[in-house]
Chains A and B, each alone.
Chain A
Amino acid sequence: MTDLWQLTISEASERLRSGALSAVELTRAHLDRIAEVEGSVKAFVTVTEQQALRDAERIDTRRREGEALSPLAGIPLAIKDVICTRDVTTTCSSKMLEQFVPPFDATVMVRLNAAGAVMLGKTNMDEFAMGSSTENSAFFPTRNPWDLTRVPGGSSGGSAAAVAAGEAMGGLGSDTGGSVRQPGALTNTVALKPTYGRVSRFGLIAFASSLDQIGPFARSARDAALLLQAIAGHDPLDSTSVDVAVPDYSAALTGEIAGLRVGVPAEYFVEGTEPGVRQAVEEAIATLKSLGAEVGECSLPHTRYGVAAYYIIAPAECSANLARYDGVKYGFAARGEAESLIDFVMRTRAEGFGAEVKRRIMLGTYALSSGYYDAYYLKAEKTRTLIKQDFDRAF
């Protein structure tokens, strides 16, 4: 007998559509699951129980009245706390935004709400999306549901853990340098970073603007396709979103990959790879081959510069994006007497930001500062071109 929280989105959606299941029952089952395991997993910063049940009830009413609803209607989701949700605290797991309540919804939320999805709450993350373990959260660490002594990865560890633990049927995270993909790998969930520009960044609290993208977590590729379908597409409010038609992701899931050409970069097999990891990759390659894909080696020779280029570009962009947190317009403000405005701003930022955030702001500021800009930032941007060209050539 399957518990409701063990269903996939596709399965639940079918039962909701047929009337075998109500959105309130489904949401209630997930709230109960949260109550059961959240003490161990700690995926959520905020659980929006009342709003979730109200929204689920509204979906049930609309369906009863004969309205045709989207496949995501009534589906309970977990949303990373880096995405602005109107009237619901959005903290980025930072003291700086601990009390911040956005007066608007991110575009992805507008689209999910229009599809009738139910938000269970906001999930824990590495502070301001900086980190790969969710240990950099200013509030508490999230644990990997598969092994509570391990991390779920980061920075979207909360959303990954919530989906893996059955606390939510799907989730949203954000990925700048792996923050959706890596937690997905560590929690055995399907996790996707969409191509930059595919999903609107309006309402995504910015870390590195040329790298950030919102991406889905789910327990099946079919579910991930449903989530991406709902959020993808051009947004006039995000000038970096591309005006390119969104394909039917679900229709593409035929399971037919005969003739698909897959390249495995030689440079990705490095010394020090855990034997179990190498084996898992080799088994996946064998599976793809047995299904008819043509898998061969390719070369991305500038791979060795990737991390270095990232560690200049991302902190540089972060230092610019986080300059807005000054205790004046919103967010945390240092208390007590300050000598001057600058003193007030400096103390606000010293007290509001955690160590990792400060480290990246410092690195980024350094890389952009006069005298170092050419050697670091400009050099990194040119290296980025070389890396891009490797991919262009491979494809």
Chain B
Amino acid sequence: MSIGRATVEHVATLARLALTADERERLRDQMSAILGHINVIAEADTSAVPATAHILPIDTVMRDDDPHPWPDSQALVERAPAHQDAYIRVRAVLDNEVDE
């Protein structure tokens, strides 16, 4: 069970992980080996069973819409690596490049 280099790069991008070339190769080998072992589940006859996403028979747990204000928003803001006044600082999501 071998994973292609392009797949590893694609998965790394989805996972938002910047990998070095060495890491990519190592992960390619390791993932291929692990998936080789995991493939045993292909033998399980799952034709007649539903999927179990969650072990408990609970569904759509509700509560009253009773708001309790968080007393110290600033404490949360101050935990951000970059913050200013009451705001968390983050790089621009969209690059507004203007073509000169």
Contact = CB atoms under 8 A, between A and B. Distances in A.
A197 B88 CA distance: 35
B17 A328 contact: no
B7 A366 contact: yes
- Complex A-B, nearest 7 residue pairs according to Cβ-Cβ distance, in ascending order: A333-B81, A381-B51, A382-B46, A346-B18, A239-B61, A350-B18, A365-B15
A210 interface: yes
A323 interface: yes
A350 B17 contact: yes
A341 B54 contact: no
A378 interface: yes
Interface of B: 3, 7-8, 10-12, 14-19, 23, 27, 30-31, 34-35, 37-46, 49-56, 58, 61, 63, 72, 75-76, 79-82, 88, 90-93, 95
A360 B95 CA distance: 32
A240 B43 CA distance: 31
A239 to B, nearest CB: 4
A327 B61 CA distance: 31
B28 to A, nearest CB: 10
A240 B95 CA distance: 40
A333 B49 CA distance: 44
A384 B79 contact: no
A345 interface: yes
A363 B29 CA distance: 12
Interface residues of A, number: 61
B17 A305 contact: no
Given A346-B17, A381-B53, A359 B30 contact: yes
Interface in A298-356: 302, 304-305, 307-309, 311-312, 319, 323, 326-333, 338, 340-347, 349-350, 353
Given A210-B53, A340-B91, A379-B46, A369 B34 contact: no
A163 interface: no
Interface string A352-395: 01000011011101100100000110111111111011000000
Interface of A: 100-101, 103, 196-197, 210, 236, 239-240, 242, 302, 304-305, 307-309, 311-312, 319, 323, 326-333, 338, 340-347, 349-350, 353, 358-359, 361-363, 365-366, 369, 375-376, 378-386, 388-389
A360 to B, nearest CB: 10
A308 B42 CA distance: 10
9 contacts: A302-B44, A308-B38, A311-B34, A311-B38, A328-B82, A362-B15, A378-B51, A382-B44, A384-B51
A349 B17 contact: yes
B23 A385 contact: no
A196 B56 contact: yes
A340 B58 CA distance: 42
A383 B41 contact: yes
Nearest to A325: B16
Given A361-B17, A385-B51, A242 B81 contact: no
